[in-house]
Structure 1
């Protein structure tokens, strides 16, 4: 990473001045700007840590090490390094999509660092299996990879409205912007990494209390996956089913998500 620190490379910033620390970690195809609509609600009482995943379009792509980021463990390493560099000894972690699993992995290594994990649109495996409905067949995913490779712009134009789900054109534009910001080869590589991951076996080792936030209709994660996660986690788990659709509620339904986050933070 040359002379730059990890905090500089991943654009780490801290907002607010409360005693309780909340870490916001975004999902695939977005960056920390995805939290802007819910951030004002959180700043009243919390110190909020925001950062970009190494694959985000807002991070210099020269820093993306394809070998290192071939598993989600490297992202969990980055998260722990960030918190150590900031001197954070206790926090609530809020992770969207792939970051939900990154938070779970980090909690296995440092359970005392995390008071609670808030998992938004989480999935330990996106592919269907014999007794598991992840939402996608292997052949479908190969077609997605082929489309990304053949014409990234056309793929984004189709994928963004599907992922947003709700009819919110400005959110589709916003999600398209951050997808376009990603270098296409990095985007495809990360997509492959996510879809080839199977973290179901890890769930029983996660003892940190988890609050699972799921939208009623999500093209990327069937509601049954939230039930599966709750049933297989090793600690206390709660599901909060939001009466909205889409994989990006922090963009498309921020007020509703804020209510869910308030419930998550209030729960003892």
Structure 2
């Protein structure tokens, strides 16, 4: 196993010609794909990894400067694909990793046959003629809460993000992966993600994109999915799913997994 693979806990499962890379979002790790993986391994090679800073990674490897922009994560993704000698793949990216994948595809479009984006947003802050869902003061409150009492913040944030109460299995699972992250790293990652603005790069993304969005998502309004569709440089398609929450692959697998499998198997028809 190479250095990059080891640092990101890379696992390669299954067999088949088609390679599918599963990239998780903030606060989770590769375990967020547990409902999807069993449906893929019989006919595909599946690559799973943990973003740097996620709970299972070594916190000593987290470079606060490198990950102060999404570029650091895009370089990591490309390094993983290079070390595994991947020549072409379908990327399924959740939340920030969908945008990271799009960013990586700008420099290496040949590596991606398509990107499936779940709960993706190029900008979380509202702006002139743009509704991202948050005001700056909302984010400041979020960051302050993370800093002052991380455990209390997780207990409040997890049910809001997932769209359930603390008794739900999905909320407990998201709480577990959030608690696994060192609080100062979690704060830094959240600041990088929520303050990012990737709108100016969207027109450079020429790889086909499948945009999947919950009908109700605390972090990403449905209008953001439509914005992505209008502004991406290549072919794209939007499907709004009858799911709640920002982690629908975890909280509503019965709804979301069939949709994901359909988009993995079928290309956009223009």
In which range does the TM-score fall when normalised by the shorter chain?
over 0.9
Paired position in structure 2 for 1:178: 177
Taking the aligned partners of 1:118 and 1:108, their CA distance within structure 2 comes to 15
Taking the aligned partners of 2:158 and 2:194, their CA distance within structure 1 comes to 17
Match of 2:38 among 40, 62, 66: 40
Taking the aligned partners of 1:14 and 1:228, their CA distance within structure 2 comes to 34
Contact 1:163 1:219 in 2 (8 A): yes
Residues 254-263 or 73-82, more deviating: 254-263
Q: Does 1:52 align with 2:42?
A: no
Q: Does the residue aligned with 1:105 lie in a helix, a strand or coil?
A: helix
Structure 2 gap ranges (5+): none
Contact 2:243 2:256 in 1 (8 A): no
Query: Runs of at least 4 residues of structure 1 off by over 4 A?
Result: none
Q: Shift in Å at residue 261 of structure 1?
A: 1.3
Paired position in structure 1 for 2:9: 11
Q: Which residues in structure 2 correspond to 1:120-135 (within 5 Å)?
A: 120-135=118-133
Q: Which residues in structure 2 correspond to 1:98-247 (within 5 Å)?
A: 98-166=96-164, 169-247=168-246
Contact 2:164 2:171 in 1 (8 A): no
Taking the aligned partners of 1:230 and 1:77, their CA distance within structure 2 comes to 25
Taking the aligned partners of 2:67 and 2:238, their CA distance within structure 1 comes to 30
Taking the aligned partners of 2:212 and 2:2, their CA distance within structure 1 comes to 35
What's the C-alpha RMSD, in Å, of the aligned pairs?
Answer: 1.2
Q: Deviations over 1:223-254 (max 9, x none)?
A: 00000000000110011111111000111112
Paired position in structure 2 for 1:260: 259
Aligned residues: 266
Contact 1:38 1:255 in 2 (8 A): no
Match of 2:20 among 8, 15, 22: 22
Taking the aligned partners of 1:227 and 1:162, their CA distance within structure 2 comes to 23
TM-score by length of 2: 0.96
Paired position in structure 2 for 1:93: 91
Q: Does the residue aligned with 2:40 lie in a helix, a strand or coil?
A: helix
Q: Deviations over 1:117-148 (max 9, x none)?
A: 00000000000001100000000100000100
Taking the aligned partners of 1:254 and 1:59, their CA distance within structure 2 comes to 26
Structure 1 gap ranges (5+): none
Q: Shift in Å at residue 60 of structure 1?
A: 0.7
